[in-house]
């Protein structure tokens, strides 16, 4: 069956359909990871987006029950050069095609994804539609694509967050509130390996609801969409401003951006975002460079940084802000994903640093200079 990928600039690409049948609209983005297609598709941060893989063969090691980062596929469409009909891996249980069918997500193959990536890097992120339906005319779809709002105008965080406080029993000591704005399960696993209880709390939970849990610290998760969405500004930021003055707080990805907004910084939308497992990040305090896994379309504006906030890390490719630390409050954040999965584990020590910092009650500066003292924790 034929599928079409239609972009807002008028580009129409025909290919072979795979996955579910149907029509989905979204924002076309690309990821450069050679592996990790299942983790990416099930990452809530991809809500609202049609996900294109630059690596030419996707699905070659199949799909396993262990690799999901959530309970569903959050990407709204899948674009590949070729999907593998005969995957090979001891943990593989199904093909990429069947996985997408199971979750109702359409895909298209036979696309020159690298050429389309070059277009995206030049033109910027494009609104798009992927369809397997012959009854819809290209002109009709193009008109809708060109007039529809970008998906981040919607409160995507509300779509992906838990709806009620959910405790997760851990193997360590202490209690942490994980503000779920679209968390990946490997973040939950890493925190549960280090703390006694991890409370996943909704994005719009109040400060009093979180404090009632008698926690030791706050952890802000990743997630999709615009960090400055009016709903988030109205509900999440006031909670953060209250809590981060009382508890050691760390944020990653969207959580990093939300903490920046709570500090008083501003955020902006990147031309095409950072998505993949090979983003270099330079620590300005030590000079070291880490290779990191990232997935975000917005960034923090360094020009808006107040005097009491320190920029600790930058992207070595384009200089965008990758890390912040408050000079007075026990708050720090990173734009990249320390849990990787898949990807480099260079920065997994951030979870150990956070735990040691909580044990000190948020006292002192949690810098990388304490690397030698980090206790490696095995994740079951």
Please write the tens of the pLDDT for every residue from 182-196: 999 999 999 999 999
Kindly name the residue from 229, 337, 341, 348 that is annotated as catalytic. 337
129 among known catalytic residues:
no
253 among known catalytic residues:
yes
pLDDT in tens, 268-322: 999 999 999 999 999 998 999 999 999 999 999 999 999 999 999 999 999 999 9
Task: For residue 68, give every residue at least 6 positions away whose Cβ sits within 8 Å of its Cβ, in sequence order, or none.
Answer: 38, 39, 42, 185
Q: What is the mean pLDDT of residues 227-246?
A: 97
User: Residue 113: what pLDDT?
Assistant: 97
164 among known catalytic residues:
no
User: Residue 370: what pLDDT?
Assistant: 43
Phi, psi of 245 (to 5 degrees): -85, -10
pLDDT in tens, 144-167: 999 999 999 999 999 999 999 999
Kindly name the residue from 253, 256, 296, 322 that is annotated as catalytic. 253
- Decide if pLDDT at 376 tops 70: no
Measured distance CA(41)–CA(72) in Å, rounded: 8
User: Residue 373: what pLDDT?
Assistant: 42
Q: What is the mean pLDDT of residues 11-40?
A: 97
SS3 track for 22-75:
CEEEEEEEEECCCCCHHHHHCCHHHCCEEEEECCCEECCCCECCCCCCCCCCCC
Measured distance CA(283)–CA(7) in Å, rounded: 38
Percent of the chain scoring above 70 in pLDDT: 96
Confidence grade of residue 119 (pLDDT, cut at 50, 70, 90):
very high
Residue 166 tokens, joined: 């959910």
What's the CATH fold of domain 2-153? Glucose Oxidase; domain 1 (3.50.30)
User: Residue 378: what pLDDT?
Assistant: 52
Kindly name the residue from 256, 339, 341, 348 that is annotated as catalytic. 339
pLDDT in tens, 331-373: 999 999 999 888 898 999 999 999 998 888 777 666 644 443 4
Q: What is the mean pLDDT of residues 62-78?
A: 96
User: Residue 369: what pLDDT?
Assistant: 41
User: Residue 342: what pLDDT?
Assistant: 82
The ranges assigned to domains in the chain are 2-153, 156-373
Q: What is the mean pLDDT of residues 95-104?
A: 98
pTM of the model: 0.94
Distance set, CA 40 to CA 2, 79, 367 (Å): 25, 13, 30
What's the CATH fold of domain 156-373? Rossmann fold (3.40.50)
């Amino acid at each position: 069956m034929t599928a079409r990928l239609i972009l807002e600039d008028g580009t129409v690409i025909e290919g072979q359909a795979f996955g579910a049948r149907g029509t989905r609209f979204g924002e076309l983005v690309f990821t450069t990871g050679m592996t990790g297609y299942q983790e990416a598709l099930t990452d809530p941060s991809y809500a609202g987006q049609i996900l294109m893989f630059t690596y030419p063969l996707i699905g070659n090691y199949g799909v396993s029950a262990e690799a999901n980062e959530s309970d569903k596929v959050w990407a709204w469409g899948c674009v590949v050069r070729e999907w593998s009909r005969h995957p090979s891996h001891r943990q593989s249980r199904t093909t990429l095609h069947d996985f997408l069918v199971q979750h109702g997500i359409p895909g298209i193959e036979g696309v020159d994804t690298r050429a389309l990536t070059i277009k995206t890097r030049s033109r910027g992120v494009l609104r798009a539609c992927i369809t397997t339906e012959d009854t819809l005319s290209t002109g009709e779809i193009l008109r809708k694509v060109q007039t529809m709002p970008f998906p981040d105008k919607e409160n995507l965080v509300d779509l992906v967050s838990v709806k009620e406080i959910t405790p997760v029993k851990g193997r360590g000591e202490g209690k942490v509130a994980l503000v779920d704005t679209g968390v990946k399960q490997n973040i939950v696993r890493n925190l549960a390996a280090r703390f006694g209880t991890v409370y996943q709390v909704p994005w719009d939970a109040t400060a009093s609801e979180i404090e009632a849990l008698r926690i030791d610290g706050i952890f802000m998760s990743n997630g999709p969409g615009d960090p400055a969405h009016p709903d988030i500004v109205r509900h999440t930021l006031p909670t953060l401003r209250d809590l981060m003055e009382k508890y050691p707080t760390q944020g990653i990805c969207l959580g990093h951006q939300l903490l920046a907004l709570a500090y008083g910084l501003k955020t902006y939308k990147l031309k095409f975002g950072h998505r993949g497992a090979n983003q270099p990040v330079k620590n300005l305090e030590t000079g070291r460079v880490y290779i990191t896994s990232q997935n975000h379309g917005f960034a923090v504006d360094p020009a808006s940084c107040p005097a009491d906030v320190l920029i600790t890390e930058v992207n070595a490719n384009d200089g965008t802000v990758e890390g912040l630390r408050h000079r007075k409050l026990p708050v720090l954040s990173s734009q990249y994903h320390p849990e990787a999965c898949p990807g480099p584990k260079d920065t997994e020590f951030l979870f150990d640093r956070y735990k040691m910092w909580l044990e000190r009650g948020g006292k002192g500066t949690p810098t990388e200079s304490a690397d030698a003292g980090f206790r490696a924790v095995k994740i079951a």
